[in-house]
Structure 1
Amino acid sequence: MANGSEIIRLVSDRQDRDQFRRKNWVGSFEEYLDIVHAHPEVTRTAYQRLYDMILSYGVEKVRIGRETVNQYRFFDDPDGGGKDAVFGLRDTLNQLVNALKSAAKGYGIERRVLLLHGPVGSSKSTIARLLKKGLERYSTTDEGALYTLGWADENEPDNPDLVHWCPMNEEPLHLIPQRFRADVESQLNDDRTDDDHRVRIEGELDPFCRFIYQQRLRKYDGDWTLVMKDVRVKRVILSEKDRVGIGTFQPKDEKNQDATELTGDINYRKIAEYGSDSDPRAFNFDGEFNVANRGLIEFVEVLKLDVAFLYDLLGASQEHRIKPKKFAQTDIDEVILGHTNEPEYRRLQSNEFMEALRDRTVKIDVPYVTTLADEIKIYDKDYNNQTVRGKHIAPHTVEMAAMWAVLTRLEEPKHAGLSRLQKMKLYNGKTLPGFTEENINELREQATTEGMVGISPRYVQDKLSNALVTHPDSRSVNPFMVLNELESGLKHHSLINDDEQKQEYRDLLGVVKEEYENIVKNEVQRAIAADEEALMRLCGNYIDNVKAYTQREKVKNAFTGSYEEPDERLMRSVEEKIDIPDSRKDDFRREIMNYIGALMIDGKRFDYKSNERLHKALELKLFEDQKDSIKLTSLVSNVVDAETQQKIDVVKGRLIKNYGYDDESATDVLQYVASIFARGDAKRE
């Protein structure tokens, strides 16, 4: 066991002091100008920095139908281990990044509020959290470096602990007087051709820095160069926790809302020291707009803001300025990101007093996921292991919960003969006869509310958690436990008050249960028919008979040695399993022989597994032959002889080995499938 000194040495060996020094660099204004000349990207605007941060993680080109679209790796949350990864919202994320790109290039969107709009639990907050965390990490890298200014103390100019740092972490180039900026830009750019990384000096000093700047100008009789010797520049690391460059504003009730939370407030204790409440040294520039300068401000439920706050928001977005109490308009440079749900947005649309805000808003819809595979990924972040909290999660448990959630979000298809379940499968990539990629796109375009209504992933996650703790005697959690939790929770669902809607969701649970029944029946059938040698014997027997049939020959009986007519009953018993009608049996048999012949020409050996339809037919045939010998239905009566139990144990072992079940869930699923067959037998009788 390691002792204290070994643990300290472990940390010591892995620390990077050079990186620490780079992050905590402090220098002169002249040194900063050298940095700008060599690396002009340090002067980027907040939008440019955010856009570059996203691109720094890479972009994949993904083929969707006939179109090629971008997939930004940043939203997979690589630095966070995928905990905040966003799934199934490729169009939404592309729209967001395109808006940031437009803002970064100065095409106008930088003067708008980016509004993420969607139902509760649709990843709006996750996207905002990702962007904030991404900016924080990016600012710690050499590529994402940015700097701010401070003022040496008049009495102890060489004391680094007495530097008066800018409270808004603004760009040091604001110290360049307006009349010299064009020439300074020309010198710094040095005929640079890359337009995206040209230095542009925009904005003015904040009230605090402006006050000290003018004070020092008077001290040095207007000599700007002497003033610059008092300037210190340091690197800034953005941090939400430290309230540096990342701000978050959450509305409170009307009685407790105060505009100073956005733009700062007077420090009354310092008024006695400086003699005036309009002295910037007696003001706390600690409002969310102040601290978010150079980075990003997130407005949680932005449309719940009191009207009084909207003036600050409108000025901040359109003019890039805020109005602190007792001071003139102050320049800011930050991304303004808000998010809201559907009811609040409808209220915005109907409120004529909000017209100015609507005009300054870029709405980006963030719907629920409507693709099953992506919905499953959302829950796999928490339930991606077969064992969670000491309990085994049976196969298809998460899948069935996700299937129900997606079904609640889909509109009933207008296409005749197409069910909502089939529509979901089409969206998930399954092919159905008569449906092309264009048809599927038409289905999506016809839907007006798809993804904006339905069950939230949070509700499903809550019920999955409930299922894990409400069955103390069970070592395994199966789909029925979770589906029952989902159904019982509908009675008290706080967001669903319509009884018809609740009944619709219950009906969809019935659809999911029926689909689960088909899935597990197929799995048990395959487990029973997973005898490789028996399948190969059956396949060989079938092919021998098909070959004789197509060539009008006889088949040699392996037992008697005599030649007999091809076994029509055997061939049809296989073909009927995949719905080959009697009128097409000849075509199917010739197709199989042509397939085998083509393989032989290429020098390849025929394997029944390579032909999906034949493989499925053989498995179903073998299952039918072995089902009665295994006597699976005897499980229902709990009267099982030793020989049958041995065969059932073999099937159970295959379920555990090949399909991810444990002993308890494999027993449960066998008993469930046995009850299905027992019901079927009873109906036939």
Structure 2
Amino acid sequence: MATMHSKELLSSVSDSVRREFKEQKYILSYDEFLDIFSNEPKRLIRNSAEYMLDMFKFFGVSEIKHGFNHTKRHFKLFERVRGKNKPAIVGQEEAHESIYRVLEQFVRQGKIDKLVLLHGPNGSSKSSTAESLANGLEEYSKTEEGVVYKFNWIFPSDKIGYEGLGDALNKHIGFGDNNPSRNGNKSFAHLEDDEIMCKIVSEMKENPIFILPKKERVEYFKKVIGKNLTHDEIPSYLEEGALGAKSKKIFDSLLVAYKGDLEKVLRHVQVERFFYSSRYREGIASVEPQMAIDAQDRQITMERNMQNIPPALQNIRLYEPQGELIDANRGFIEFADLLKRPLDAFKYLLSTIEKMNINLSSGIADLDLVMMASANEKHLDAFKNSPDWPSFKGRFELVRVPYLLSARLEQKIYEEDIKIIEKTKKIGPHSLNLLARWAVLTRLRQPDPDYYDPGIRNLIARLDPYDKQALYDGNEPSNAFTETEKGLLKKHVEDILKESQSSVAYEGRFGASPREMKMLLYFAAQNERHDSLSTIALFDEVEKLTRDRTIYDYLQFEPRGGYHDYREFIKYIKSQYAQFFHREFLSALNLYDEEQYIKALQRYMKNVTSYLKKEKMQNDITGRQEDANENIMEEMESLMGTTGNKREIRERLVGKIASWRVERPSEELNFAKVFEQELATIAKRIYESKEEEIKKIKSSMMMNGSEDYKNLPKNVLETCENTFANLEEKFHYTRKNAWESLIFLNSIKK
């Protein structure tokens, strides 16, 4: 019975594959190809740059928000999963936009004449970007919009007839008899394997339309377009494209053998749909640093597997081009860490890029491919000081790929690693966020006030790394600035981001690498002293990382104006964690319920709005129209610790809501975010008012696991247990992580 099921399965799969093979038109005769070409000529005459540009468009675009009131175009191509444990690329919209514009430039000018050089610090997603492009090509080529063809030469066995060259001269070209009645002008493209004497593939994967002579193919294109075209409207790829040396020799020999009868030559053409593949180097190649040139050829006419070549072709030398450039033709090639190669190993690229061809022993091979390379900044700096740099500069299109400057986006880089880790270990609250914030803080550069207009120079001079990070994440700066000053800073976020971009030491060039941070995540997860990947465990790993300053250059920078001070950044994220946990602890203790105070703030703001507008408001209980309740407002202002002119205080708070709505018109008002600092103050004041009671419970909970804990008074023990349970259920701490955090909180307060 099982055997029967297996046979049915195989039969079903076989039928499905056969049906797909026919529907996808994998194999075509030349006539069939021309029929398809006539229906969609522009799609089938795209060069590699046009094809890649269309691929960008195919996967779609969206707008994403960066900072305040600023959006960037996001290409969904880079959201594609590139393989197991490889997350989408985040935060590199500017680099991807630059690549898109370079492709547009290639398309406009009708030729590819530059190598796209991705440069940036180690681990900034240069290789991931190239990998995403390759993966996109693979997926796109499987779609109807991304169909692409190459061709092979087919020579039938003696049992297949053809219309020969004439019995009088007793000549034929060695693939059948001369009986014209048996096969006529029927194509050999669909012959079965046992009917084929010899099949010669074209390694260059030339567009099949190039088999037609230049003049005829241009006229055919005009005809199928259905209108008169000017010279400028004819694709240069169509007009200038040519067969590779091997295919040209075969074509010419057949044309001579058939006395110029092109139809008979075209019988031997088998058009084949192909699919891009990185694994099998089909239209995609990646070249690691090496000494060897990336293309060469070898003679194949003397090989045993070519012994069935027709006599008409045996008097010519056929060469098989090979190498990465050949494999990548009609597609995309990446030179990984190009500048790690000795200069002599890639000097040939100068002429290759300029002419888009390469000299082989058999002749010149025309290339149609997008070239991309990657380099880290140190190697690029050294290369710029080389006497050869001016020669290469005009052939490179530089695209910068820096580290991210947004902790919110940085955190997303770790998501796939976290999916792996959380299979065996729980992820502690705030751990990823604080690690991302520390990493980004190490990358920030002190702003230069002289870069800005005189009116805001003093404001910029006061901008410390913590407020700068808040701005880059689209968050409010601290209360060290007035509401007016905050508004000015938010207005100039893009200027702050652009300030150092023309500098060699641009912001995002130095600092902690995402690779290093991922490594810390795994180290923290493996730490047996902790039962979760907790923030406490990450603090230990960050401190270990920074002990040897000689390993990483960003640890060697002298602190200046609060920037580049990795030790202070560690203290900062520790203090942030203490604040977060303290607030959660109070909530778990049922002394501070943030939701309760958010509702109180909403009620307060309702009264404030009525007060400022001098309007009546409806009493929720009695339904009467009344003046704003001064007691409600003063009680909340007391909790928030505000002092000064009441009207000014209330106008400032209303201004915060107005700013949120202006900056985030499509988002729902988030009171917890808008009044984050005020809520933190409320939590602190509640703590101060019940400090002794809280200390007693905290001390008791820190005894967890000991005999003394078990012997606590019943009511105290019950409160401790309820608090532990709330920390686990509401905030997702493990019991041990909560206990560790209490000890940490106690130590940091001292």
Partner of 2:133: 131
Partner of 2:582: 521
Partner of 2:641: 579
1:484 aligns with 2:555: no
Partner of 2:20: 19
Offset of residue 290 of structure 1: 0.8
Q: Flag the 1:107–1:268 CA change in 2: closer, same or farther, 3 A.
A: closer
Q: What is the CA deviation profile of residues 570-610 of structure 1, one whole-angstrom value per residue up to 9, with x for unaligned ones?
A: 997753442311x33577689999xxxxxxxxxxxxxx999
Instruction: Give the distance between the partners of 1:506 and 1:5, measured in 2 at CA.
Output: 69
1:319 aligns with 2:355: yes
Instruction: Give the distance between the partners of 1:232 and 1:450, measured in 2 at CA.
Output: 54
Q: Please give the secondary structure, in 2, of the residue aligned with 1:351.
A: coil
Partner of 2:35: 34
Instruction: Give the distance between the partners of 1:353 and 1:424, measured in 2 at CA.
Output: 40
Q: Which runs of 5+ in 1 are unaligned?
A: 552-565, 594-607, 680-685
Instruction: Give the distance between the partners of 2:528 and 2:358, measured in 1 at CA.
Output: 57
1:72 aligns with 2:75: yes
Which 10-residue stretch deviates more, 74-83 or 241-250? Answer: 74-83
Counterparts in 2 of 1:123-202, with a 5 A limit? 123-153=125-155, 155=175, 158-160=191-193, 162-191=198-227, 200-202=238-240
Q: Please give the secondary structure, in 2, of the residue aligned with 1:152.
A: strand
Q: What is the CA deviation profile of residues 356-409 of structure 1, one whole-angstrom value per residue up to 9, with x for unaligned ones?
A: 221111000000011011100001121148x62421121111112111111111
Q: Flag the 1:81–1:98 CA change in 2: closer, same or farther, 3 A.
A: farther
Q: Please give the secondary structure, in 1, of the residue aligned with 2:442.
A: helix
Counterparts in 2 of 1:211-226, with a 5 A limit? 211-226=249-264
Instruction: Give the distance between the partners of 2:210 and 2:249, measured in 1 at CA.
Output: 13
Q: Please give the secondary structure, in 2, of the residue aligned with 1:390.
A: coil
Instruction: Give the distance between the partners of 1:223 and 1:676, measured in 2 at CA.
Output: 90
Please, what TM-score do these two structures have when normalized by structure 1? 0.82
- Measured on the aligned residues, the alpha-carbon RMSD in Å equals 4.0
Which 10-residue stretch deviates more, 471-480 or 369-378? Answer: 471-480
Instruction: Give the distance between the partners of 2:468 and 2:556, measured in 1 at CA.
Output: 22
Offset of residue 84 of structure 1: 3.7
Q: Please give the secondary structure, in 2, of the residue aligned with 1:111.
A: coil
Give the aligned residue type for 1:139: S
Instruction: Give the distance between the partners of 2:647 and 2:261, measured in 1 at CA.
Output: 101
Q: Is the 8 A contact 2:87 2:413 kept in 1?
A: no
Offset of residue 493 of structure 1: 7.5
Instruction: Give the distance between the partners of 1:494 and 1:500, measured in 2 at CA.
Output: 7
Give the aligned residue type for 2:385: S
1:669 aligns with 2:741: yes
Q: What is the CA deviation profile of residues 20-60 of structure 1, one whole-angstrom value per residue up to 9, with x for unaligned ones?
A: 33456212111111111112202211111111111111111
Q: Flag the 1:296–1:615 CA change in 2: closer, same or farther, 3 A.
A: closer
Which of these residues, 647, 652, 660, is aligned with residue 719 of structure 2? Answer: 647
Partner of 1:424: 469
Partner of 1:53: 55
Counterparts in 2 of 1:220-239, with a 5 A limit? 220-239=258-277
Q: Please give the secondary structure, in 2, of the residue aligned with 1:409.
A: coil
Q: Please give the secondary structure, in 1, of the residue aligned with 2:74.
A: strand
Partner of 1:443: 496
Q: What is the CA deviation profile of residues 458-479 of structure 1, one whole-angstrom value per residue up to 9, with x for unaligned ones?
A: 011111111111x224321222
Q: Flag the 1:104–1:623 CA change in 2: closer, same or farther, 3 A.
A: same
Q: What is the CA deviation profile of residues 507-531 of structure 1, one whole-angstrom value per residue up to 9, with x for unaligned ones?
A: 4222322222222223323433466
Partner of 1:398: 432
Q: Is the 8 A contact 1:84 1:130 kept in 2?
A: no
Which 10-residue stretch deviates more, 306-315 or 441-450? Answer: 306-315
Partner of 1:682: none
Q: What is the CA deviation profile of residues 196-246 of structure 1, one whole-angstrom value per residue up to 9, with x for unaligned ones?
A: 999834311111101111110111112222211221111111112222111
Partner of 1:345: 380
Q: Is the 8 A contact 2:641 2:681 kept in 1?
A: no
Which of these residues, 517, 533, 542, is aligned with residue 460 of structure 1? Answer: 517
Q: What is the CA deviation profile of residues 138-192 of structure 1, one whole-angstrom value per residue up to 9, with x for unaligned ones?
A: 1111111111111111526545453212121111111111232331221232239
Instruction: Give the distance between the partners of 1:567 and 1:361, measured in 2 at CA.
Output: 68
Partner of 2:283: 245
Counterparts in 2 of 1:501-650, with a 5 A limit? 501=557, 504-529=565-590, 575-581=637-643, 583-584=644-645, 612=675, 619-630=683-694, 631-635=696-700, 638=703, 640-650=712-722
Instruction: Give the distance between the partners of 2:408 and 2:245, measured in 1 at CA.
Output: 53
Instruction: Give the distance between the partners of 2:263 and 2:73, measured in 1 at CA.
Output: 49
Which 10-residue stretch deviates more, 8-17 or 283-292? Answer: 8-17
Q: Please give the secondary structure, in 2, of the residue aligned with 1:424.
A: helix
Offset of residue 494 of structure 1: 7.6
Q: Is the 8 A contact 1:529 1:622 kept in 2?
A: no
Give the aligned residue type for 2:387: E
Instruction: Give the distance between the partners of 1:184 and 1:534, measured in 2 at CA.
Output: 72
Partner of 2:562: none
Which 10-residue stretch deviates more, 298-307 or 30-39? Answer: 298-307
Q: Is the 8 A contact 2:594 2:679 kept in 1?
A: no
Q: Is the 8 A contact 1:463 1:486 kept in 2?
A: yes
Q: Is the 8 A contact 1:173 1:201 kept in 2?
A: no
Q: Flag the 1:140–1:659 CA change in 2: closer, same or farther, 3 A.
A: same
Q: Is the 8 A contact 1:48 1:105 kept in 2?
A: no
Instruction: Give the distance between the partners of 1:84 and 1:611, measured in 2 at CA.
Output: 31
Q: Please give the secondary structure, in 1, of the residue aligned with 2:461.
A: coil
Q: Flag the 1:623–1:369 CA change in 2: closer, same or farther, 3 A.
A: same
Give the aligned residue type for 1:100: L
Instruction: Give the distance between the partners of 2:9 and 2:192, measured in 1 at CA.
Output: 34
Q: Please give the secondary structure, in 2, of the residue aligned with 1:221.
A: coil
Partner of 2:369: 334
Which of these residues, 237, 243, 253, is aligned with residue 205 of structure 1? Answer: 243
Instruction: Give the distance between the partners of 2:566 and 2:522, measured in 1 at CA.
Output: 20
Please, what TM-score do these two structures have when normalized by structure 2? 0.75
Q: Is the 8 A contact 2:536 2:741 kept in 1?
A: no
Offset of residue 492 of structure 1: 5.5
Q: Please give the secondary structure, in 1, of the residue aligned with 2:556.
A: helix
Which of these residues, 75, 86, 89, is aligned with residue 89 of structure 2? Answer: 86
1:388 aligns with 2:422: yes
Give the aligned residue type for 1:453: F
Partner of 1:116: 118
Partner of 1:602: none
Give the aligned residue type for 1:395: P
Instruction: Give the distance between the partners of 1:318 and 1:537, measured in 2 at CA.
Output: 64
Q: Please give the secondary structure, in 2, of the residue aligned with 1:452.
A: coil
Which of these residues, 263, 286, 289, is aligned with residue 325 of structure 2? Answer: 289
Q: Flag the 1:646–1:268 CA change in 2: closer, same or farther, 3 A.
A: farther
Q: Is the 8 A contact 1:189 1:198 kept in 2?
A: no
Offset of residue 429 of structure 1: 0.7
Q: Please give the secondary structure, in 2, of the residue aligned with 1:293.
A: coil
Partner of 2:296: 263
Partner of 1:105: 108
Partner of 2:660: none
Counterparts in 2 of 1:346-361, with a 5 A limit? 346-361=381-396
